[in-house]
Structure 1
Amino acid sequence: MRVEIWSDIACPWCYIGKARFEKGLAAFAHRDEIEVVHRSFELDPGRAKGDTAPVIDMLATKYGRTVKEARAMEEHVAGNAQAEGLGYLTEGREHGSTFDIHRLLHLAKSHGRQDQLLDLAYRANFAEERSVYDAQVLVDLAVEAGLDAEEARAVLTDESAYADDVRADEREAAELGASGVPFFVLDRRFGVSGGQPAETFTQALEQAWQGRALTTIGDSADGEACDTEGSCEIPQADGHV
């Protein structure tokens, strides 16, 4: 059975959701028969290459919040990440175009190294002081994932390389009704929206395995996610989003 995951490196709930999904998958009886494929989804597709801004400033501007409130938002996400055993920097990160990262992930997919590169990119973006918007950092990450440096550099230099693959993934997400990420589609029969608990993923895998019709678990009211404008939902006073 195939599981397709639409996500973006810029989305913290994709980072957290991947860890939760993997825990849910580990508890699934047929886990060894699951193929996981990562799909491209840009949260900020109109952003120009090289146009980066501090995440705290972006959050404050997008939500009309103070810098103090934006930091509190980041602390909320950090707490969720740490609960999953993930590192998370609340200061010093940047927000920018992820188009090049997605193109490089498609190169990695062609070599069977997509999951490895995705994990490295998430860690670099959220847990380390390494900018995933820097071409040399991306080449370094590609090499760490087992790819050839010159091949990775050639993809980044040629802006048409794997561009159609990224756009095809994004069109397919729109056709499936995904307006935010992470978005999980299980065997084209069952959908899960947002960074749900591990138990929810296990349940979804079990139901998809049984061959039920496509349904979506979660929406913007209960599955923490990032939307198509490059923003992540703000936790309210009751702890829900």
Structure 2
Amino acid sequence: MKVEIYSDIACPWCYVGKHRFERALADFPGADTVEVVYRPYQLVPDKSEQPEPHREYLTARFGPQAAAMDDRLAALGRAEGLPFDFDRILETNTLLAHRLLWHALTAYGPAVQAALKDRLLTAHFADGVDVGDRDALAALAAEAGLDRDRAAAFLASEEGREEVLAEIDDARAVGITAVPTFVFEGKWAVQGGQDTSTFLRVLEQVATETGALPAPAAQACADDACEVG
């Protein structure tokens, strides 16, 4: 089974959704037959490359409700065991990080890409790292199992830029308007940071539909997600 996850490093629900999906996958009997690939998406493609404090950025976009949005996610994060440090988060353009994820997939494969995705999300939401900074990204790449010098050379070039932009355009063309969106076998889509139990039911349903598991099916619906700004 192939699962393509469209997400953005700047999306908190992508952070939550990845955690919940991986927890469901760990409980899925056919986990070793599932290939997970992360696809790029940008919520704010015209965001400046200059890092900006999260609190200021969110208040400018959403006004007084910004604080309540952060409080809700902080509480959710505590329940999920995921750290959010909104006072340290730096908002920036995420294209460079998406290019690095593309490099990880094409040069190292899905497992290394997933490790890098996890490191990028944690670095952004918990560690206050500027994920638009080339040196910081090269260091994160090394922590995720990539060769640091090779990653640094890649980031200094324009390699992968057109391919990543084309993938983002393709995502919008097929109707993806919010992230995270999980696409199973190129046919079934689930939007939002669903509960772990929902992801597990979807995995079982798709396995049943494709003949991989003789299990009863259940449907999932859209829930919390980050929408295009």
Shared fold by TM > 0.5?
yes
Please list, as runs of the form range in 1=range in 2, the aligned pairs for 1:1-241 lying within 5 A after superposition.
1-49=1-49, 51-65=50-64, 69-109=65-105, 110-112=107-109, 113-158=112-157, 160-211=158-209, 217-219=220-222, 223-229=223-229
Tell me how far apart the structure 2 counterparts of residues 202 and 175 of structure 1 sit (CA, whole Å).
28
1:64 is aligned with what amino acid?
Answer: G
Q: Which runs of 4+ in 1 moved over 2 A?
A: 69-72, 216-219
1:117 is aligned with what amino acid?
Answer: L
Deviation at 1:39, TM superposition (A): 0.5
Deviation at 1:56, TM superposition (A): 1.2
Deviation at 1:72, TM superposition (A): 2.7
Tell me how far apart the structure 2 counterparts of residues 52 and 207 of structure 1 sit (CA, whole Å).
42
2:144 is aligned with what amino acid?
Answer: A
| TM-score scaled by length of structure 2 | 0.89
| TM-score scaled by length of structure 1 | 0.85
Tell me how far apart the structure 2 counterparts of residues 136 and 59 of structure 1 sit (CA, whole Å).
26
Deviation at 1:198, TM superposition (A): 0.6
> SS of the counterpart of 1:188?
coil
> SS of the counterpart of 1:64?
helix
- Contact in 2 for aligned 1:75/1:90 (Cα 8 Å): no
More off after superposition, 134-143 vs 149-158: 149-158
Deviation at 1:165, TM superposition (A): 2.4
Tell me how far apart the structure 2 counterparts of residues 83 and 133 of structure 1 sit (CA, whole Å).
29
1:169 is aligned with what amino acid?
Answer: E
> SS of the counterpart of 1:184?
strand
Tell me how far apart the structure 2 counterparts of residues 170 and 116 of structure 1 sit (CA, whole Å).
21
> SS of the counterpart of 2:209?
coil
Tell me how far apart the structure 2 counterparts of residues 128 and 191 of structure 1 sit (CA, whole Å).
31
Q: CA RMSD in A?
A: 1.6
- Are the structure 2 counterparts of residues 129 and 64 from structure 1 closer, same or farther at C-alpha, using a change threshold of 3 Å? closer
Q: Which runs of 5+ in 2 are unaligned?
A: 211-218
Q: C-alpha offsets along residues 140-185 of structure 1, whole Å, 9 cap, x if unaligned? A: 0011112122211122111x21112212321232233110100000
Identity of aligned residues (%): 39
* Between structures 1 and 2, the one with greater helix share: 2
Deviation at 1:103, TM superposition (A): 0.4
- Contact in 2 for aligned 1:71/1:90 (Cα 8 Å): no
* Aligned residue pairs, count: 218
Deviation at 1:107, TM superposition (A): 1.0
> SS of the counterpart of 1:18?
helix
> SS of the counterpart of 2:22?
helix
- Are the structure 2 counterparts of residues 94 and 129 from structure 1 closer, same or farther at C-alpha, using a change threshold of 3 Å? closer
- Contact in 1 for aligned 2:134/2:155 (Cα 8 Å): yes
Tell me how far apart the structure 1 counterparts of residues 194 and 224 of structure 2 sit (CA, whole Å).
7
> SS of the counterpart of 1:39?
strand
